Amino acid sequence: MTGISTHEQQQVDAANSSGRVPVVFVHGLWLLPSSWDRWRARFEEAGFVTLAPGWPDDPNTVAEAKAEPDVLAHKTVGQVADHFEETIRALDRKPAVVGHSFGGLITQILAGRGLAQVSVAIDPAPFRGVLPLPVSALKSASPVLGNPANYSRAVPLTYEQFRYAFANEVEEDEARQLYDTYAVPASGKPLFQAATANLNPWTEAKVNSRHPDRGPLLIVSGEKDHTVPWAIANASYKKQRRNEGVTEIVEIPGRGHSLTIDHGWGQVADTVLAFVRRFTAPAAAG
């Protein structure tokens, strides 16, 4: 495990020198920071400066991740959250934070530490206190949870598993293209942590939803998501709306878990961008 990488420090330095409001993107399991490249361009065009830090020790490319999957193993929710906190604290300005899947859980943890100016959790993995366990979510997690030995492994998805968990709402050709372009092995530990969060009072998969400096929060749910169905996203929203800050939820019709990387990514990005813009002033800051 390492601290902020050279590449991440370069992003921090660029953000601090820009004078613009930073937006930090947090990827989830089975993806890398490069999955945010088009989002970063969209937000930069809108006047923000963006960062996409990796999880600790993330390889630079999908090819490297597939060639040396062991480097992705052993990462826990707490380690990832602490890594992003270290990056955010190096910024001169409190950022907006946007995360997908387990990145959405990390986003809520960071917001619950008072580190986000505004945050968006897209199809977020559940935290302690979120109780629904739909069958589709269990099936999506079964490639990891089905074998206790996977707790200490980096686990790849087969194409068929990726098709069900991520790409169930796109055509076959696109599903294969997404799998080849983006899918990498993922640490098994976070899934086990989320699965046992409601049984473990000391779990790292917990969120301080009442923090007075949490900031505005939007939860985005894909209507057809198998991995994080509406029941999970809405239960997270119900926990978060106890906060005095703005708390909203939106469902994107006809979208699966790949909604941040598939052909419809722009619709989701614009929904998120509109929410972030409501609570920041990138043009004035630039």
Tell me whether residue 18 is in a domain.
yes
Which CATH number does the domain housing residue 246 bear?
3.40.50.1820
Identify the pLDDT of residue 286.
39
Tell me whether residue 26 is in a domain.
yes
Tell me whether residue 200 is in a domain.
yes
Identify the pLDDT of residue 283.
46
pTM: 0.96
Confidence band, pLDDT 50/70/90 cuts, at residue 282? low
Taking only the tens place, the pLDDT of each residue in 52-102 is 999 999 999 999 999 999 999 999 999 999 999 999 999 999 999 999 999
What is the domain count for the chain?
Answer: 1
Identify the pLDDT of residue 284.
41
Identify the pLDDT of residue 230.
98
Pairing assessment for the beta strands 154-155 and 186-187 based on DSSP bridges: antiparallel
The rounded mean pLDDT for the chain is 96
Taking only the tens place, the pLDDT of each residue in 8-22 is 999 999 999 999 999
Tell me whether residue 1 is in a domain.
no
Tell me whether residue 286 is in a domain.
no
Taking only the tens place, the pLDDT of each residue in 228-244 is 999 999 999 999 999 99
Confidence band, pLDDT 50/70/90 cuts, at residue 260? very high
**Rounded-to-integer distance, Cα 229 and Cα 257, Å:** 9
Q: Which domain holds residue 93?
A: 6-281
Tell me whether residue 135 is in a domain.
yes
Confidence band, pLDDT 50/70/90 cuts, at residue 285? very low
Q: Which amino acid is at 266?
A: G
